[in-house]
Amino acid sequence: MLFWVIAAILTLGASLAVLLPLAGSSKGTLSSGDHDLEVYRDQLSELDRDAARGLIQPAEAAEARAEIARRILRLHDVDTAGKTSARQGSVIARMVATAAVLAVPLVSWGLYSQIGSPDLPSLPLSERLAKNPADSSVDELVARAEAHLTANPSDGRGWDVLAPVYLRMQRFSDAVAAYRNAIRLGGDSAVRRAGLGEAIAGAAGGIVSADAQDAFEAALKLDPANAKASFYLAMALAQEGRNKEAAKAWRAMLGTLPPDSPWRGAVDQALAKSGNPEIASGAAAKGPDAVDVDAASSMSPQDREAMINTMVASLDQKLRQNPRDPEGWMRLVRSYVVLGKADQAREALNRAIAVFGAGSDEAKKFTAFAASLGLMATE
Amino acid sequence: MVETGHFALVLAFALSLVQTIVPLFGARLNNQRLMAVGGPVAITGFALTALSFAALASAYANSDFSVASVWENSHSLQPLIYKITGTWGNHEGSMLLWVLILTFFGALVAAFGSNLPATLRANVLAVQGVIGAAFFLFILATSNPFVRLNPAPIEGRDLNPILQDLGLAIHPPLLYLGYVGFSICFSFSVAALIEGRIDASWARWVRPWTLVAWMFLTGGIAMGSYWAYYELGWGGFWFWDPVENASFMPWLAGTALLHSAIVMEKRSALKIWTLLLAILTFSLSLLGTFLVRSGVLTSVHAFATDPTRGVFILCILTLFIGGSLALFALRASRLTAGGLFHPISREGALVLNNLFLTTATATVLVGTLYPLALEALTGGKISVGAPFFDLTFGPLMLPLLVLVPFGPLLAWKRGDVFAASQRLMAAFASALAAMLVTGLFIDGASVFAALGIGLAVWLVAGALTDLAVKSGAGSVAPAVMFRRFAGLPRSVFGTALAHFGLGLTLLGIVATLSFGTEKILTMRAGETVELSGHTLRFVGLYPAQGPNYSEDRGRFELIGVSGSPVGEISSAKRFYPVRQTTTTESGIKTLGLSQLYVSLGDEGKDGSVVVRLWWKPLVTLIWGGGLVMMAGAAMSLMDRRLRVGTPSRRRKQASVVTPAGLP
Amino acid sequence: MTRKQKRLSVIAGGLAFLGAATGLTFYALGQKASYFYMPADLTTTSVQPGQRIRLGGLVEKGTIQRGQGATVAFSVTDTHKSVKVTYTGILPDLFREQQGVITEGTFGPDGVFVADSVLAKHDERYMPKEVADGLKAKGVWQESKSE
């Protein structure tokens, strides 16, 4: 609304600039000859000054004076010849005047209605960031945090909060910088180091580079139980083609991870991919990548459980089609135990033993494994 | 606020149409009322354009990413100064700045032109109006800076890092003030052609406008040259790049115009030529705008390439250049030719100046357009660079520079070369001495260096001689001489200063090209290097974080004679993550009039860094001379002669003026 | 001399001056303009050692070798042919493998191109206009290939 008022005022002002001179009195002005005469007079007086100051010789001054006088004389000839009648064409003049007065509002409003966006308010960044956080989009919240950190670059906690958000938004290079700042200001911690490593890897398109590896190793030094660091270090091995070692590392992780760790699913998937290429290639199911896992850690408990359930179900399905996979069976059994579904765990164990035969080495291994989880075969 | 700016821009376009048509009819019908419309409309149009520009600048300053051009060329983390200068650091905004200056000059004519004959004033405003209308239409149709984005992005894509520099605050506005200033001379010329007569007040108006435009263009080019020198990290100050030539051509033509306008004002001679030159100068300004803005050339100046823009500007170019030259062909014969003069006279010298300058302009024009024409016709790609211009532009400038000191010492109508030569003996002697000293006592001085230094001293001493002679040195008592010196017209000082500045610039160029030294080497922290008697120690590379970039700053210490550090230089490699661009920040230490220039190259695996060092003797004079030239123009502008009064007021004054009356 | 003769001599002098300037300009264009070539063009046109040209193309992958001090050797290719280039100095910030460059200099007697300037000016796609046009003409590079 305010915009239209301003636009109307501007249009009025512009129209007045056209209208007022047209309505004004037509005062008689000097002919151009009068203007020329003044210039020549001025030239004469200048000549006098120069002569008085000795800048030109008297003879030259006299000659120049004569020349200016000749110009003045010539001026009079032109002037008497050039008088014209001003009365002509007053009809045309009136038409031009009317058209001009009308043109201003018509052209401006007509054109603006075609190309303008009158409904869009101005959106200065500071204003967008100052509004109620509840109304803001994630982007705006991030921008607000960035603005805060620009003003207070030494706020380590701020960087700590922002870094994982960047990671989730896949703004990896920003995440790298944020984690570095968090470490510099808030001190070293395994979580920050591991996050830094993940960001570096993300920036490299998922490749765990030497830099990322250093970060993960530093994280493990600070906290040997850091799942993210262990996971990615194993991933680094897998990326180098050392699949066996990678699988071993992942399996070791499974032994130490707490039962509710979101990393279990990721490790299972990674093992499925690396350890058993035939299964990985044959199966359509796709494991969660690092970002999914990270997303899982920030999900609500219900969502997270649903995600894990889906993952376990897909593993179960895979084993029905490809039963001769001892590792897979053990993972499935453990998954059900972790989820607190003892019945299904037991059922899976029985199916596994059935596949390999009750007396086989695998069956013994399965039984021992289940026992370690506190689970007995068919009662 | 943003939409208010957009609306104001549209309204300004509507007013420019009125400004074109109504005064033109008024002048044709000799209708006072219609003619009177031009003034208020021009002033209102400027106010609206200024409002529009302010709205855009405020959108930039406040990071309003709902404006497309802000989103494309700004970032919230940029320092405020670069947010604001970013307003014209892109195609759309720079065109808005262009019309802002155009309407500003139009408003000046409207505000201070009451002493002009009414029809001349009306026609001038009409021509200004039509230029404005064409460019407003261009902006609204192809380059609208107020295009909005909905929903608005939360972060912008950053300004080109090369432009994130103070140079952007100074160079384009100065350059545009120069380019567009010549539009007034153009409008006066076309108005004179429409009327079919040249008033005596015509020259009085065109000369100060030429001075203003020339002054700003000089500053703009000098600033652009210095900016390229320190920002691009190559240590060069002029590259004969087509974009540079685009600004240099109007400067050369404008310099010619400046000189021919003097003849026209003083002697009423060279009228038709001056008029043509005014048209050509602005045409070259338009050509420069076309070359830079159409994307025909690739350079830092080509912000975006959009073929419709190129075609549009080409149409504007054809309309104005073709139209004005056609009008000239039709009407020039009706204009009366002016006074006669002897070939050897002040007029003759100025004609010679014009001959050299316009020919030089033509060679630059050929060198700039020939590759474009060749590519369009045959598809062959060539580049015309420094070697071409050294061979063509150089030989043309040389005799002109030799002749410069003679001009102001020759009398009007009929001069005496012999007398002028006698007066210049002292200047000649000092030039010769400088040449001998350079040639004999400086190691490695070439013949070119000796001649160049001699020529520069000749210009400087010639300018001083001019002042001395006009004060009556040697023929009158010192007290009289001092009084005369103080009483000299400002324009005499202006001429002397401008020629003096030209000499300084030449001195800087010759000294830098002949005696500059250069070293490229790899350095490790702690190592020292010597260059032309200066010892630099590489302290090391230090990472640092800027507001929107990260950098590796290489620090160097300048070691004094005693072995202790006397100064520090640092050069940096900056990385701007948003645009994924690396830039080099050169390190410059000014020692007297000379500079030590350090530029950082790639980092080796073993921690060593490629370093490029230059010693540039007297290099600051190149741009310092430009500043002196600007001061000369400013001095000339203050001359009382150029303050043309209205007839009524003048009549009273004329009776007061006595021969002894000093300004 | 009569007045007419004087005027004629002034006009003749002016014309002679303009003629000389025009001649000089065209001579300079023939001598001093440097032509732009891509590596494959060099098989069809003969370029004398010492003749100044501009050579454009892509920096071939894996050919950048840093030698003594600030000397760098690399190959410029248009994917059909490649040419060895040496350059002493600081490479532009945008100089990278597989990206467009324009080098200016002369061929040495050994067939190695000795560049005295290396440009990596670019538009949005990191490609000098000449190189992009040249590659397009050879069918190596399409607009759509880049994002």
A243 contact partners, CB below 8 Å, separation of at least 6 = A237, A274, A275
Among B164, B183, B216, identify where a domain stops.
B164
H-type helices in B488-548, by residue range? 490-515
* Minimal CA separation from B354 to chain C, in Å: 11
pLDDT given at position C145: 33
Q: Which residue of chain B is at minimal alpha-carbon distance from C14?
A: B355
A154 contact partners, CB below 8 Å, separation of at least 6 = A185
Query: Are B290 and B215 in the same domain?
Result: yes
Partner-chain residue, chosen from B14, B197, B659, that has the shortest CB–CB distance to A108: B14
DSSP run (H or E) holding B650: helix B647-656
Stretch A38-63: mean pLDDT? 76
Provide, rounded to the nearest whole percent, the portion of chain C with pLDDT above 70.
77
Q: Which residue of chain B is at minimal alpha-carbon distance from C132?
A: B298
From chain C, the residues in CB contact with B387 under 8 A are 28, 31-32, 34, 52
pLDDT given at position A271: 78
Q: Do C88 and B384 touch (CB under 8 A)?
A: no
pLDDT given at position B355: 92
Rg (CA), chain B: 27
Taking all residues of chain A, what is their mean pLDDT, rounded to a whole number? 76
Partnered with residue B203 across adjacent β-strands are none
Query: Are B509 and B521 in the same domain?
Result: no
* Minimal CA separation from B311 to chain C, in Å: 19
Write down the residue that tokens 């549209």 correspond to.
Answer: B10
- Partners of chain A (3+ Cβ pairs below 8 A): B
Asked if residue A297 has pLDDT above 70, the reply is no
Q: Which of B137, B154, B194, B651 to mutate to test the interface with A (most CBs of A within 10 A)?
A: B154
> What is the distance between the alpha carbons of residues B248 and B363, in angstroms, rounded to a whole number?
12
> What is the distance between the alpha carbons of residues B647 and B138, in angstroms, rounded to a whole number?
40
DSSP assigned state of B148: B
From chain B, the residues in CB contact with C45 under 8 A are none
With CA atoms as reference, report the closest residue to A199 among A172, A181, A165, A220.
Answer: A172
With CA atoms as reference, report the closest residue to B11 among A111, A163, A167.
Answer: A111
CA distances from B187 to A358, B184, B228 (A): 104, 5, 33
Domain residue ranges of chain C, discontinuous segments joined by +: 1-33, 35-146
> What is the distance between the alpha carbons of residues B380 and B373, in angstroms, rounded to a whole number?
10
With CA atoms as reference, report the closest residue to B657 among A37, A50, A36.
Answer: A50
- For residues A370 and A377, the answer to whether their CB atoms sit within 8 Å is yes
Q: Which residues of C touch B (CB under 8 A)?
A: 6, 10, 14, 17-18, 21, 24-25, 27-29, 31-36, 52, 54, 66, 69-70, 88-91, 93-94, 104, 121, 123, 128-130, 133
Provide the number of CB pairs (under 8 Å) joining chain B to chain C: 100
- Partners of chain B (3+ Cβ pairs below 8 A): A, C
What ipTM was assigned to the predicted interfaces of this complex? 0.83
From chain A, the residues in CB contact with B650 under 8 A are 38, 41-42
Q: Which residue of chain C is at minimal alpha-carbon distance from B382?
A: C35
Q: Do A122 and B2 touch (CB under 8 A)?
A: yes
Partner-chain residue, chosen from A21, A37, A104, that has the shortest CB–CB distance to B33: A21
Count other Cβ atoms within 10 Å, centred on residue C11.
10
Q: Could you write out the three-class secondary structure of B421-463?
A: HHHCHHHHHHHHHHHHHHHHHCCCCCHHHHHHHHHHHHHHHHH
Q: Which residue of chain A is at minimal alpha-carbon distance from B647?
A: A38
Write down the residue that tokens 């000189």 correspond to.
Answer: B259
What does pTM read for this prediction? 0.77
With CA atoms as reference, report the closest residue to B260 among B271, B252, B249.
Answer: B271
Q: C68-77 pLDDT, tens per residue?
A: 666 888 998 8
φ, ψ for residue A323, nearest 5 deg = -70, -25
Query: Are B501 and B606 in the same domain?
Result: no
Sign of the Cα torsion B304, B307, B309, B315 reads positive
Write down the residue that tokens 């410069």 correspond to.
Answer: B404
Asked whether residue B180 is assigned to any structural domain, the reply reads no
Q: Which of C90, C102, C125 to mutate to test the interface with B (most CBs of B within 10 A)?
A: C90
Q: Which residue of chain B is at minimal alpha-carbon distance from C9?
A: B343
From chain B, the residues in CB contact with A92 under 8 A are 25, 29
H-type helices in B113-166, by residue range? 118-142
- For residues A159 and A178, the answer to whether their CB atoms sit within 8 Å is yes
Q: How many domains, chain B?
A: 4
Asked whether residue B20 is assigned to any structural domain, the reply reads yes
Partnered with residue B569 across adjacent β-strands are B556
φ, ψ for residue B337, nearest 5 deg = -75, 160
Asked if residue C79 has pLDDT above 70, the reply is yes
> What is the distance between the alpha carbons of residues B65 and B56, in angstroms, rounded to a whole number?
11
Partner-chain residue, chosen from C17, C27, C90, that has the shortest CB–CB distance to B610: C90
* Minimal CA separation from C112 to chain B, in Å: 21
**Sheet of B534-545: strands edge to edge?**
B528-531, B534-545, B550-559, B565-576, B581-585
From chain B, the residues in CB contact with C38 under 8 A are none
Count other Cβ atoms within 10 Å, centred on residue B188.
28
Among B403, B432, B457, identify where a domain stops.
B403
Among B387, B403, B419, identify where a domain stops.
B403
Asked whether residue B554 is assigned to any structural domain, the reply reads yes
From chain B, the residues in CB contact with C89 under 8 A are 520, 601, 612
Asked whether residue B643 is assigned to any structural domain, the reply reads no
Q: Do A92 and B25 touch (CB under 8 A)?
A: yes
- For residues A92 and B25, the answer to whether their CB atoms sit within 8 Å is yes
pLDDT given at position B30: 83
Q: Which parts of chain B sit beneath pLDDT 70?
A: 294-307, 336-339, 640-663
Do the chains A and C touch each other, judged by at least 3 C-beta pairs below 8 angstroms? Answer: no
| Domain that residue B449 falls in | 409-514+621-630
Q: Which CATH class is domain C35-146?
A: mainly beta
Query: Are B237 and B375 in the same domain?
Result: yes
Query: Are B463 and B325 in the same domain?
Result: no
Average the pLDDT over each of A8-17, A241-250, B221-230 and give the range with the smallest value: A241-250
Query: Are B557 and B529 in the same domain?
Result: yes
Q: Do C93 and B582 touch (CB under 8 A)?
A: yes
Asked whether residue B645 is assigned to any structural domain, the reply reads no
From chain C, the residues in CB contact with B305 under 8 A are 123
From chain B, the residues in CB contact with C18 under 8 A are 359
* Minimal CA separation from A302 to chain B, in Å: 32
Query: Are B571 and B428 in the same domain?
Result: no
Q: Which residue of chain B is at minimal alpha-carbon distance from C128?
A: B298
Q: Do B15 and A49 touch (CB under 8 A)?
A: no
pLDDT given at position B649: 39
Count other Cβ atoms within 10 Å, centred on residue A184.
13
Q: Do B76 and A147 touch (CB under 8 A)?
A: yes
Asked whether residue B642 is assigned to any structural domain, the reply reads no
Q: Do B299 and C36 touch (CB under 8 A)?
A: no
Q: Do C25 and B363 touch (CB under 8 A)?
A: yes
Partner-chain residue, chosen from A3, A35, A71, that has the shortest CB–CB distance to B268: A71
Query: Are B84 and B222 in the same domain?
Result: no
pLDDT given at position B48: 97
From chain C, the residues in CB contact with B520 under 8 A are 69-70, 88-90
Partner-chain residue, chosen from B388, B581, B612, that has the shortest CB–CB distance to C29: B388
Q: Do A60 and B13 touch (CB under 8 A)?
A: no
Query: Are B277 and B245 in the same domain?
Result: yes
CA distances from A259 to A194, A373, B497, B651 (A): 21, 11, 87, 104
Q: How many CA atoms lie within 13 A of A27 on its CB side?
A: 5
DSSP assigned state of C60: P
Q: Do A108 and B29 touch (CB under 8 A)?
A: no
From chain A, the residues in CB contact with B656 under 8 A are none
Q: A334-354 pLDDT, tens per residue?
A: 777 766 777 888 888 888 888
Average the pLDDT over each of A254-258, C120-124, C133-137 and give the range with the smallest value: C120-124
Query: Are B229 and B369 in the same domain?
Result: yes
Query: Are B147 and B270 in the same domain?
Result: no
Asked whether residue B351 is assigned to any structural domain, the reply reads yes
Kind of pairing, strands C113-119 and C82-88? parallel
pLDDT given at position A302: 59
Q: Do C70 and B387 touch (CB under 8 A)?
A: no
Asked whether residue B87 is assigned to any structural domain, the reply reads yes
